[in-house]
Amino acid sequence: MNRYMIIIVLLSCTLLTACKTIQTDSNNQLPPSPTTEPNDTITPEPSKGPDISQQKKEELETTINTVNSEQDIIDVLIEGIPLFCEKLSFDLGNIVLSNELPDLFVQNAYYKVTSQQPSLKYVYETKIQYNEETKIATCELMYMPFKFGFHDSEVLSNTHLVYTLKDLISIAQDNLTGASVDIRIMNPNLDVDDMQKALQQVGYGYIVCELNKDATQITMSPTYSRTIEECLSYIKDTELLADEILKDIVSDSMTDDEKIVAVYSYVAENTAYDYRYYTNRNEMPYESMTAYGVLKDNLAICGGYSWAVRLLLDRIGIECYNVTGLLSGESHMWNIIKYEDKYLYFDTTNDAGLTPDLGFRNFAMTVEQASQSHEWDDEFLEHLLAEK
C-alpha cells in the first residue's frame, strides 16, 4: 500500500506544479495555445500617417498670404499649383501699385510662373477677384483634367485615348478633317508643352493642330489666310503627288534604309532653294514652305524640304519627324529619321543640288555632327523618341 501512496503523491505534485504555470490575462482569459509555426505570427500594419501634401494644400487654400512683392506671389503659386490648390488668396496691402490694376498684377505673376516653369502649364484658366476694402486678391485655379486621371467609365465611345506623344501625333494625323477631335489624355505625366510641340508634326504646313484650353480636344485651324477647305484640298493634292513620286523611286524589294536614301536623294536633287525668301519675301508663294512646293514646283525653303521628306516617308510607313531650331543662328527646319536602327539627323536643304555620287554632307548626321552647326530642343526629342 505504501508504494501506491507514494506514486499518487508524486502525480498530485506534478499536476499542481503544471496548474501554477498557467497564467491568465487581466480579463481572466487563458492565453492562446502556442502554434507549431511561430514564424506565422501576424505583424500588425503600421498606422498610416497624415497626408502631408493634403494638409499643405488645405493650409494654402485657407491662408491669406501677406505678400510684399510680385516674387512673393510667384513663390506661393509655385508651391500651390503642384498641390492642385483651387484657390489662393493674397493680401496686397503692402504693395504700392502705380497704374497697374491689382487683378492684372496677380495675373502677370501667374504668367511669369508658367514662363519660369513651363511644366506647370496644366493650369488652363485663372479667375482673379479683388476686394478693394480688404486689399485681398483671390485667385481661382482650374486644372486640365488629365492631371487627375480618367476612369474607363468617363471615356466616351467616340473619344480617342492618348497615352504617348506619338499617340497624339497619330490621332491628329488620322483625323485631319478640320473638325476638332475629342481626346482623353490617359497619362498624367505628359507635359503640356511637349504635347503642343508634338502636334506641330501634323498638318504638312497647312493646318495648325493644337490642344484646346483644357486639353480635352485637338483643334485644327488653317494657315496663311486660307480656308480649312482650301488647306485640306492642298493636302490631298500633295499626298497624290507624293504617291506618284514614290511609285518611281521606291519598291517593295527595298529595305527601309534604301527607301530613306531614295527619298532623300529625290528631294535634294530635284528641289531648288527659293531665294525670294531673302530678296523679296512678299513675292514668295506660301507653297515654298510646304511639301507642295517641293513635289509640284520643285522650289522651296527649308520648311518645304523638311515637310516633303516627312510626307514621303510617312506615306510608306517610315518613322520621321521635323526638327525646328537654328542653323548658324537663323531659323531652320530639318528631319530626324530612324536609320540603321538609330535616330539620325538629315538636312536636305543643305544638300540641295547634290547627289549620292557627289556625296551628301548632311545625310545621317549623329548628334555630335549635327550640333556643330544646328541647334534644337533636345529635351522634347528625347521625350518623343524614348516612347515605344
264/348 Cα distance (integer angstroms): 7
Q: Are residues 239 and 355 in the same domain?
A: yes
Q: Are residues 138 and 153 in the same domain?
A: no
Q: In angstroms, what CA-CA distances link 39 with 34, 35, 43?
A: 11, 9, 10
pLDDT per residue over 5-21, tens digit each? 433 333 344 433 443 44
Sign of CA dihedral 369, 374, 377, 383: negative
Q: Are residues 82 and 114 in the same domain?
A: yes
Cβ neighbours for 52, distance < 8 A, ≥ 6 positions apart = none
Q: Are residues 218 and 235 in the same domain?
A: no
Structural domain includes residue 13 = no
Q: Are 202 and 169 in contact (CB under 8 A)?
A: yes
pLDDT band of 99, cuts 50, 70, 90 = confident
**Which amino acid is present at 22?**
I
Residue scoring higher pLDDT (3 or 247): 247
Structural domain includes residue 193 = yes
216/124 Cα distance (integer angstroms): 11
Structural domain includes residue 21 = no
Q: Are residues 217 and 291 in the same domain?
A: no
Q: pLDDT > 90: what percent of the chain?
A: 79
Cell 536602327 maps to which residue?
Answer: 341
Q: Are residues 257 and 132 in the same domain?
A: no
pLDDT band of 22, cuts 50, 70, 90 = very low
pLDDT per residue over 170-211, tens digit each? 999 999 999 999 999 999 999 999 999 999 999 999 999 999
Reply yes or no on whether the pLDDT at 44 is more than 90.
no
Q: Where are the alpha helices (DSSP H) in 213-301?
A: 228-249, 256-270, 276-279, 291-295
Structural domain includes residue 338 = yes
Cell 473619344 maps to which residue?
Answer: 159
Q: What pLDDT shows up at residue 21?
A: 40
Q: Are residues 108 and 190 in the same domain?
A: no
CATH number at residue 86: 3.30.110
CATH number at residue 339: 3.10.620
pLDDT band of 154, cuts 50, 70, 90 = low
Q: What pLDDT shows up at residue 149?
A: 80
Reply yes or no on whether the pLDDT at 88 is more than 80.
yes
Its domain, for residue 214, covers: 147-222
197/200 Cα distance (integer angstroms): 5
143: cell is 486644372
Structural domain includes residue 6 = no
Q: Are residues 246 and 298 in the same domain?
A: yes
21: cell is 504555470
Residue scoring higher pLDDT (44 or 381): 381
Return the H-helix or E-strand segment holding 313: helix 302-315
Mean pLDDT of all residues in 290-315:
98
Dihedrals φ, ψ of 262, to 5°? -65, -45
* Cβ neighbour number for residue 155 with a 10 Å cutoff: 15
Mean pLDDT of all residues in 247-258:
98
Structural domain includes residue 258 = yes
Query: Per the structure, how many domains does the chain have?
Result: 3
Q: Are residues 158 and 128 in the same domain?
A: no
* C-alpha closest to that of 110 among 126, 94, 86, 96: 126
Reply yes or no on whether the pLDDT at 98 is more than 80.
yes
pLDDT band of 152, cuts 50, 70, 90 = low
Q: What pLDDT shows up at residue 30?
A: 39
Structural domain includes residue 200 = yes
Q: Using CA atoms of 348, 353, 355, 359 in order, give the dihedral in degrees to the nearest 10.
A: -70
79/73 Cα distance (integer angstroms): 10
**Which amino acid is present at 208?**
V
Which of 143, 172, 199 is the C-terminal boundary of a domain?
A: 143
Instruction: Decide: residue 371, CB within 10 A, 0-12 exposed, 13-18 middle, 19+ buried.
Output: middle
Reply yes or no on whether the pLDDT at 247 is more than 50.
yes
Q: What pLDDT shows up at residue 47?
A: 43
Which of 98, 125, 143 is the C-terminal boundary of a domain?
A: 143
Q: In angstroms, what CA-CA distances link 139 with 5, 91, 306?
A: 96, 11, 44
Q: Are residues 206 and 252 in the same domain?
A: no
175/179 Cα distance (integer angstroms): 8
